[in-house]
Amino acid sequence: MGALEIVRTAFTPLAALLGGAVIGAAAVLLLLATGRIAGISGIAARLLPPYEDDGWAGRAAFVAGIVAAPLVLSATTGAAPVMHIAAGPVVLVVAGLLVGFGTVWGNGCTSGHGVCGLSRLSLRSLVATLVFMATAFATVFVVRHVL
């Protein structure tokens, strides 16, 4: 993809609505079943040492469900989700490290703050969500219009 090529995103309101409803339902079910927030970064981090408790299997199942979802979609529809990643491996590694740093520094991720925290009317989650959304908007603007 050239630097001047416009990146277009499909407008799919029904798919977005269904996806949002499923994410919301999963967050509510996890909260009701375990009393835990569906913060993906916290769930994934607690799969690694030094964490050892009775909740490991549940966290592993939750992450396995996230990984399995596109495979289930492919098996049921016969079509894999279309993905195009224009960035190279170095950019992806740096971006992953920055996101990881941001989730540790912000004490949570988009799912923990944006989905669960906002629904609980958490002021801390509102501030965190505003900061990461503003950062995302600025990043997209710089990448698409400045670089």
pLDDT tens column, 24-68: 898 888 889 888 888 888 888 888 888 888 888 988 998 999 899
Instruction: Give the CA angle between residues 134, 137, 138 to the nearest 5°.
Output: 85
Helix (H) or strand (E) holding 127: helix 123-141
Structure tokens at 111: 């799912």
Is the pLDDT at 1 greater than 80? The verdict is no
Torsion sign over Cα 122, 37, 22, 98: positive
Burial of 107 (0-12, 13-18, 19+ CB in 10 A): middle
Provide the 10 A C-beta neighbour count for residue 29. 11
The pLDDT assigned to 128 comes to 92
Count the neighbouring beta carbons within 10 Å of the beta carbon of residue 111.
20
Confidence class for position 125, pLDDT limits 50, 70, 90: very high
Please state the rounded mean pLDDT for residues 121-137: 92
The pLDDT of residue 132 is above 80? yes
**pLDDT single digits (tens) 74-119:** 999 998 877 788 888 998 999 888 888 888 888 888 888 988 888 8
Instruction: Give the model's confidence band at 5: pLDDT under 50 very low, under 70 low, under 90 confident, else very high.
Output: low
Q: Is the pLDDT at 69 greater than 90, yes or no?
A: no
**Residue 9 predicted with pLDDT over 80:** no
pLDDT for the residue 73:
87
> Exposed, middle or buried, 138 (CB in 10 Å: 0-12/13-18/19+)?
exposed
